[in-house]
Structure 1
Amino acid sequence: MPFVIVSGLSGSGKSSLLRTLEDSGYLITDNLPPALWQHMYELTQAQGILDVAVSTDARTRAFLHDLDDSFGGLSLRAPDIRMVFLEADDEVLLRRYNLSRREHPLGENLLLDFARERELLASLRALADTVIDTTDLTVPELSQRVAGLLKTDQRFELRLMSFGFKHAPPRDVDLVLDVRSLPNPYYLPELRPLTGLDPQVAAHVFATQDAEEFYQQLKTFVAAAAERAERTGRHGYSVGIGCTGGQHRSVAVTERLARELTDLNPELILHRDMPSVVEAPLGEGAGGTVP
């Protein structure tokens, strides 16, 4: 894998590019002086870390005087170096700064800062094998461009989790679905001690035509929501599927979605509230809640 150096004008999208690489498994070091590039390469190679990206820009201007020597030394050790330089029109950079309200690293007048920064980073731009103008690019488009250049593994993943509403819905998912309208195996004594992993429980949950139609609509909705997330540049989308206790219906639905939505690379996070050992039903006259 190449050792990637990211540089460019402030506001041109370097942070977005670095996030794209980080999401693809790269080890990221931001704002690294050129004199440390070779040391970083040797250190990561010694640890067996092959996907590495560093950034150097106007923030490290005090260390750019030995840029050519640093790059030359790294070239002797690293068989494949990629330097990506990002830039954009001044009008676009100005608009992005006005939206973010951040201060430019050179910190005087923005338009003057942009001109000074272009001059300051001219040597880095000259070394770059890839220059990307982000003036008309969205963040997802920049991510796709970088993925194509560096062949990063950006496989989208649909993450699934079953849970029980009586234990509270998860707060770390993008979408929460309610499957409590499906037939409840809890009311059949022979199915109550089992879980949604058991074929007979799943068969009961999806036995009726109404239940099957509901599941198909739910599957279509989950697929559409995940595909829209992927089109906006996301690398994953998480869905929580809940029934009352998190033992029967939600587990069966989650397992079936994981089997059938293969195009979205489904990853089963966990069955959050499914007990490892299901307790026997409460005895006659005992108190308890109906799931």
Structure 2
Amino acid sequence: MSETSAADASPDTLTPVKPTASELLIVTGMSGAGRSTAANALEDHGWYVVENLPPQLLGTLSELVGHASAKIPKLAVVMDVRSKGLDADIRGALTQLAASGAEYRVLFLDSSDEVLIRRFEQGRRPHPLQAGGRISDGIAAERTLLAELKESATLVLDTSDFNVHGLATAITELFSEKGPVTLRLNIMSFGFKYGLPADANYVADVRFLPNPHWVPQLRPHTGLDPDVSDYVLVANGAQDFVDRYVHALEPVLSGYRRENKHYATIAVGCTGGKHRSVAIVEELGKRFAQQPRVTVTTSHRDLGRE
């Protein structure tokens, strides 16, 4: 894949880079992760979408886009494991595209095994690689098959927490005419006693702060309540932690922009995910929202479980 000038730009001058004449986007990923929804959203924003294309025809379509940029400026090719020989042929096709100097990106849609199983069960349909086994067997086989492709993808988007509308919104933000959102940052609170988040890029532990659980008048409330939030944020070390953590992650966010990584999750945990982590996440959300070219959302995985 051809390199863009974004790799050499400074964080202060970096802007989303899009090909000037035509654009080729390859959409692939796990079955059940939302390829059809992504394809529909792209179509809604003016992309010409081709589904289930054999990898051998990628080069031909790329030439078509290059020679008819006024008519087909944006082409999305959706490929899945039903495309015969995807594991081997896609690598050869991408190598040929890179050698020809074609501009292209690869969007890989992923989701947790638990969510994929639930989606297949709700749809009452088998996994395409399931054969005579279980849905989980098909998912495991597909993960092995697509591991290398995922590793080399331009953008990996985890759709575990998206419904149909949420995924369509994410695709809109990334690939509409307004240009891709440089970085979408999800900051999540959680409780360690319920386990670590599987999709977190970074995990912070704020159990060093005083626990409002042991203050009777604060115990029933959450970190979203001003009294609890004030209690947590004025505690010794709280503001110092927030300041230093934001500062420590600034070069990480700049690196993500340079490498065209568009989505990241920061998880902050306390014991139950009710008080300290919630208050800290909300504060971090305000701080990171001030960063250039960053869209921030906050979520609270375990709020309400107690």
2:187 maps to 160
Matches of 1:194 and 1:103, distance apart in 2: 53
Contact 1:28 1:52 in 2 (8 A): no
AA aligned opposite 2:296: P
Kept in 2, the 8 Å contact 1:164–1:273? The answer is yes
For 1:202-259, what per-residue CA distance to the aligned partner results, in whole angstroms no more than 9, with x for missing partners? 1111213422212211222233333322222200111111000100000001111111
| Distance change (3 Å), C-alpha of 1:5 and 1:210 | closer
What stretches of structure 2 of length at least 5 have no aligned partner?
Answer: 1-19, 29-34, 76-87, 105-151, 155-173
Residue 202 of structure 1 is matched in structure 2 by: 229
- Whole-Å separation in 1 of the counterparts to 2:242 and 2:263: 22
Residue 187 of structure 1 corresponds to 214
The 1:239–1:198 alpha-carbon spacing in structure 2 relative to 1, beyond 3 Å, is same
> Which residue does the alignment assign to 1:18?
26
* 3-state SS in 2 of match to 1:247: coil
Q: Does the CA-based 8 Å contact 2:190-2:268 persist in structure 1?
A: yes
Q: Is 1:275 aligned to residue 304 of structure 2?
A: yes
2:209, 2:235 within 8 Å by CA — same for their partners in 1? no
> Which of 288, 291, 296 is residue 261 of structure 1 equivalent to?
288
| 3-state DSSP of counterpart to 1:183 | coil
Partner of 1:59: 56
Residue type of the partner of 2:57?
T
2:73 aligned to which of 71, 77, 82: 82
Distance 1:256 1:139, change over 3 A: same
Q: For 1:24-35, what aligned pairs fall within 5 Å after superposition? A: none
Q: What residue is the counterpart of 1:177 in the other structure? A: 204
Gap runs ≥5 in structure 1: 7-16, 30-43, 85-99, 118-124, 141-146, 279-291
Q: CA deviation at 1:51?
A: 2.8
In 2 relative to 1, CA 196–71 (structure 1 residues): closer, same or farther, beyond 3 Å? Answer: closer
Aligned partner letter, 1:231: R
Counterpart-to-counterpart distance in 2, 1:215 and 1:80 = 50
Please tell me the root mean square deviation across aligned C-alpha atoms, in Å.
4.9
SS at match of 1:266: strand
The answer on whether the counterparts of 1:195 and 1:201 sit within 8 Å (CA) in structure 2 is yes
Alignment of structure 1 residues 210-289 onto 2, 5 Å: 210-262=237-289, 263=291, 264-268=294-298, 270-275=299-304
SS in 1 for 2:231: helix
In structure 1, the partner of 2:170 is none
Q: TM-score, normalised by structure 2?
A: 0.49
SS of the residue corresponding to residue 265 of structure 1 reads strand
* Cα pair distance change 1:244/1:3, threshold 3 Å: same
C-alpha distance 224-182 of structure 1, shift in aligned 2 (>3 A) = farther
Matches of 1:166 and 1:152, distance apart in 2: 40
Q: 1:58 to 1:175 in 2, by over 3 A?
A: closer
**Change in CA separation of 1:190 and 1:18 when aligned onto 2, cut-off 3 Å:** same
TM-score, length-normalised on structure 1?
A: 0.51
| SS at structure 1 position matched to 2:251 | helix
Q: Distance in 2 between matches of 1:186 and 1:256?
A: 19
> CA contact under 8 A between 1:196 and 1:248: conserved in structure 2?
yes
- 1:272 Cα deviation (Å)? 0.8
